[in-house]
A and B are shown apart, each in its own frame.
Chain A
Amino acid sequence: MSVRLSGAEIDRLAGDWLAREDGGALSAAERAELTAWLEAEDRHLGAYVRLRAASARLNRLAALKSDQAPPEMIEAVRPAALDRRGLIAAGLAAAVAIGVGGGYWVWQAPRTYRTDIGEMRRVTLRDGSMVALNTNSVLKVDYSGERRELWLSRGEGHFIVAKDRTRPFVVHAAGASVTAVGTAFTVRAEARAPVRVTVTEGVVSLEPPGREQARLVGAMQQAAVAVAASQIRPVSAVEIQRSLAWTDGRIMLEGQTLGEAAAEFNRYNDRKLVVSGAAASAQVGGVFRTSEVETFARTAAPSLGLTMQVEDDGDIVLSAPPAAG
């Protein structure tokens, strides 16, 4: 006699079977085992069929995939281990281990990382910290001093910081600096907009430019840095995910206006999306690849009743059709 399992426990077993099949064809023995399990109880069969249906439903997401993977995705998802190896090989000649007090640190020449428009890079730094650098960004990394110092002179970076109490990790942007020990956060520095610091894990200390005192920004909070008075507000998990969608090479829209969506796409693409007049205030939703501005426009135009026009230089114009009569 076996113990009666709860619905959730059966779901778990059914999900594990499904995932195993999803990973590759089952062996004859496994298939026999699964068959026996499904026939043992109605609830097993029901749970399994239900999860297969959920999985089939999720397959519809493939509609979001483009025919060819844009080149930046290849870079974007390169495994961290590879980056680290490359970096160590490149930096080895310049790196000299020197003793300081009782411990060691590895001296390394400052290095600058850049991304072009539409490009995204992941870099694993010497200490194991990871940086994802968004489109059109410049980041200088200097690990030669007692602090791990980084300068984001343009663009956006997401930082997952390796813990090291003795060496704070400091990101400078537009006169502000963000100090972390071990945490994860994003800094976005754009022309004509306040620097935004979004914390996904842990706590950072934010030093705004000017005379304002340092303030703590915690997990699930976002700070808009200003010379006079920086604003800190809570952000939801969904907002965080949306703001980090670029680390997967995507733009996630949920109720933003078409104008805001266009500005977002234009960060990643040389061919610009132009929205004229009243059309800019329509709300849009969906997940798109950062490079797929045309797919986005083709999807948005019919559902918002707009006309779409591709200019000679490749720019795309969305506008409301002229009023009838």
Chain B
Amino acid sequence: MRGAAILQVSDMDEWFARNVLPHEPELRRWLARVAADLDQDDLVQETYASLAREWTTVRNPRGFMFKVARNLLIGRLRHKRIVNIVTIADLETLRVIDGQATGEQALVGREELSMLQQALAALPERCRQVLMLRKIDGLSQREVAVRLGLSESTVEKHVSAGIRRCADWFARLQRPSDAIAEDHDVEEGRL
């Protein structure tokens, strides 16, 4: 039922692209620091799932993201016999992030385009050609197949792999604004 609703909603995709994806690198770096021994992909996927259920009412996506991830972490840590004290301390600092109303940090305009182009440039050649024709030229998968002389199922495989690679590329992005946000957290944490 919930899944069926999602299929109709492309506003949600745009909302996630703008408000959530840009914070994923920061979330992953934080997870690597406080919970290096837990499966990061699991935690990220579950965080996205929670956001997917509540996105229409979320005012501060970044804060919500970190809160959900923290709650997931705490849930997992309860199942562990020995809990690292440093981890708990790090989790405490997150209260600061909750209250912080960070504006949209999505890259805009030229900077965003150039970042997307770099993501494309990092793809294997065929995969990149398929995504360029699909996303820039707006050809359908069928048209891409005809132009490149590939089968439609091959094009579909390239689309799947290409989007996954790009998502992982986005997840590793290092931007100056992230570093500033983190410094900011630490400073406020001392107050």
Contacts and interface: CB of A to CB of B under 8 A. Distances in A.
A7 B168 CA distance: 12
Contacts, number: 196
A46 B45 contact: yes
Q: How large is the interface on B (under 10, 10 to 19, 20 to 34, 35 or more residues)?
A: 35 or more
B31 interface: no
A64 interface: yes
Given A65-B137, A252-B121, A286-B113, A15 B163 contact: yes
Contact of A49 (B51, B112, B122): B51
Interface string A1-39: 000001110111001101111111000000100111111
Q: Is the interface of A mostly helix, strand, loop or mixed?
A: helix
B113 A64 contact: yes
Contacts of B20: 53
Please tell me the size bucket of the interface on A.
Answer: 35 or more
Main secondary structure on chain B at its contact with chain A?
Answer: helix
B49 A19 contact: no
A79 interface: yes
Interface stretch (B94-102, B153-161, B183-191): B153-161
B12 interface: yes
Interface of B: 1-4, 6-7, 10, 12-14, 16-17, 20-21, 24, 39-42, 44-52, 110, 112-114, 116-122, 125, 128-129, 131-138, 140-142, 146-149, 152, 155-157, 159-161, 163-164, 166-167, 170
Interface of A: 6-8, 10-12, 15-16, 18-24, 31, 34-39, 42-65, 69, 77-81, 238, 241-242, 244, 248, 250, 252, 254, 285-287, 299, 303
Pairs A-B, 8 closest by C-beta atoms: A7-B41, A53-B16, A46-B48, A38-B3, A46-B45, A54-B167, A46-B49, A56-B13
